[in-house]
């Protein structure tokens, strides 16, 4: 097999998260992801990853205030970002905006706040609507949702986005995290590491899948069409978005966490309109993939129910990848710090297969 995918290669010791692909378990800094999503706020998981423990009430309040103040600073910077927000793709915009932060704004709080603010600002601008200023006193998840939607969303929607942001905060040595660590390993700054990580996350094989998942659900429309539609795509050599994973050989545990978050929203009277369809399409996709790849277990990954959840809370699909970044930036920052503290320059080798003189 080609060495290109680095499967099974260990590149770092980390205290941040552990992915067990055979059992379908994800541990984030000592907590099962299922337990964390039930109890933790976004600020809690920031503390967990940056300081190694869940915060007490006073520390949580301090972090909430620091993130609020940093959102205000980031929003004030928007006027000086030139045409970065004009990009037609949200991740291009985010990459361009974050790249312009001075290295003095490279602490985790500033970077995390900035990703949420710039993502929301691009969403508003792209929709031709007025930007919404942050509310420094609000929790980060609720405020990001308010800046996106332009209204104070129902509390259940803010909780839904919070559940998402908590669930995807870190995930082992995924491509964007590895990218951030490679940049940090050279001694470069965290703004550069996060900018590079955004570029890696943008790709459809990593964080670019949930928008296409929603497109797929819309195109299929009714459960009865799922198998035929999916089979046609496979026959045309296309991949089914939201299915398959490099590490998991069973269903991604985050799929269940996010599916339950959608159920909670439905119980609170906020209907997705797509949950039954998504379940039917997942089931059909498992069937057609099993028939095509009997030896390769291919199940739903995190992106499948991300699409349904984010749509239900009122995030437009153009912002799905940016919301992924708004969470994963927390993990990137933690990995940058860990790499600086414990790592060496990452510089693997390559097997030369070209001609020799």
Q: Which residues are known to be catalytic? A: 245, 303
Q: How far is CA 215 from CA 202, 232, 239, 329, 337, in A?
A: 17, 16, 14, 26, 37
- Select the residue interacting with ligand COA from 209, 217, 220, 265 (CB under 6 A): 209
Does position 288 interact with ligand COA (CB under 6 A)? The reply is no
Distance of closest approach, residue 209 Cβ to ligand COA, in angstroms: 4
Does position 293 interact with ligand COA (CB under 6 A)? The reply is yes
Does position 244 interact with ligand COA (CB under 6 A)? The reply is yes
> How far is residue 132's CA from residue 198's CA, in Å, rounded to a whole number?
23
Distance of closest approach, residue 332 Cβ to ligand COA, in angstroms: 16
Q: How far is CA 112 from CA 10, 31, 322, 324, 342, in A?
A: 27, 22, 12, 12, 23
Rounded to the nearest 5 percent, the helix, strand and coil shares of the chain are 60, 5, 35
Q: Is 8 left (phi over 0), alpha (psi -120 to 50) or beta?
A: left
Residues binding ligand COA: number (CB under 6 A): 18
Nearer to ligand COA, 6 or 39 (CB): 6
Does position 4 interact with ligand COA (CB under 6 A)? The reply is no
Task: Report the run of H or E that residue 32 belongs to, with start and end.
Answer: strand 31-32
Residue span 248-287 as binding mask against ligand COA, x where in contact by CB under 6 A, dash where not? ----------------------------------------
Q: What are 28's strand-pairing partners?
A: 17, 31
Does position 357 interact with ligand COA (CB under 6 A)? The reply is no
Residue 353 has φ and ψ, to the nearest 5°, of -120, 10
Distance of closest approach, residue 169 Cβ to ligand COA, in angstroms: 14
Does position 240 interact with ligand COA (CB under 6 A)? The reply is yes
Does position 19 interact with ligand COA (CB under 6 A)? The reply is no
Does position 177 interact with ligand COA (CB under 6 A)? The reply is no
Distance of closest approach, residue 281 Cβ to ligand COA, in angstroms: 12
Distance of closest approach, residue 206 Cβ to ligand COA, in angstroms: 6
Nearer to ligand COA, 3 or 65 (CB): 3
- Select the residue interacting with ligand COA from 126, 245, 299, 328 (CB under 6 A): 245
The neighbour count for residue 332, using CB atoms within 10 Å, is: 32
Residue 17 has φ and ψ, to the nearest 5°, of -160, 160
> How far is residue 139's CA from residue 143's CA, in Å, rounded to a whole number?
6
Nearer to ligand COA, 146 or 299 (CB): 299
Distance of closest approach, residue 292 Cβ to ligand COA, in angstroms: 7
Nearer to ligand COA, 246 or 260 (CB): 246
Cα distance from N-terminal residue to C-terminal residue, the chain: 27
Does position 340 interact with ligand COA (CB under 6 A)? The reply is no
Name the strands in the sheet holding 31-32, side by side, starting at the edge strand that comes first in the sequence: 17-20, 25-28, 31-32
Query: What count of residues does the chain have?
Result: 357
- Select the residue interacting with ligand COA from 301, 321, 322, 339 (CB under 6 A): 301
DSSP string, 54-95: ---HHHHHHHHHHHHHHHHHHHHHGGGSTTGGG-SSHHHHHH
Residue 296 has φ and ψ, to the nearest 5°, of -120, 105
Residues 84-143 that bind ligand COA (CB under 6 A): none
Binding region for ligand COA (CB under 6 A): 5, 205, 209, 239-246, 289, 293, 296, 298, 301-303
């Amino acid at each position: 097999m080609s060495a290109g995918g680095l499967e099974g290669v260990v590149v770092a010791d980390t205290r941040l998260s552990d992915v067990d692909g055979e059992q379908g378990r994800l541990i984030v800094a000592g907590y099962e992801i299922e337990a964390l999503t039930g109890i933790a706020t976004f600020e809690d998981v920031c503390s967990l990853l940056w300081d190694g423990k869940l915060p007490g009430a006073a520390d949580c309040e301090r972090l909430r205030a620091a993130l609020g103040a940093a959102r205000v600073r980031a929003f004030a910077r928007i006027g000086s970002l030139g045409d970065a927000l004009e990009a037609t793709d949200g991740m291009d915009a985010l990459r361009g905006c974050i790249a312009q932060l001075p290295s003095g704004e490279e602490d985790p709080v500033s970077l995390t706040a900035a990703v949420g603010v710039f993502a929301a600002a691009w969403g508003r601008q792209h929709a031709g609507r007025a930007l919404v200023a942050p509310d420094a006193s609000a929790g980060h998840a609720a405020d990001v949702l308010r800046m996106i939607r332009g209204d104070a969303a129902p509390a259940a929607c803010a909780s839904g986005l919070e559940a998402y942001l908590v669930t995807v905060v870190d995930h082992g040595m995924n491509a964007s995290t590895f990218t951030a660590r490679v940049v940090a390993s050279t001694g470069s700054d965290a703004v550069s590491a996060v900018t590079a990580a955004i570029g890696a996350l943008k790709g459809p094989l990593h964080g670019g899948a949930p928008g296409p998942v929603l497109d797929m659900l819309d195109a299929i429309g009714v459960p009865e069409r799922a198998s035929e539609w999916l089979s046609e795509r496979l026959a045309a050599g296309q991949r089914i978005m939201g299915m398959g994973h490099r590490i998991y050989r069973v269903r991604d545990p985050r799929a269940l966490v996010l599916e339950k978050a959608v159920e909670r929203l439905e119980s609170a009277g906020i209907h997705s309109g797509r949950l039954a369809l998504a379940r039917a399409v997942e089931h059909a996709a498992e069937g057609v993939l099993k028939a095509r790849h009997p030896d390769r277990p291919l199940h739903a990954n995190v992106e499948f129910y991300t699409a349904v959840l984010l749509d239900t809370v009122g995030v437009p699909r153009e912002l799905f990848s940016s919301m992924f970044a708004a969470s994963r930036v927390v993990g990137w920052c933690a990995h940058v710090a860990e790499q600086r503290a414990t790592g060496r320059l990452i510089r693997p080798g390559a097997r030369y297969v070209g001609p020799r003189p």
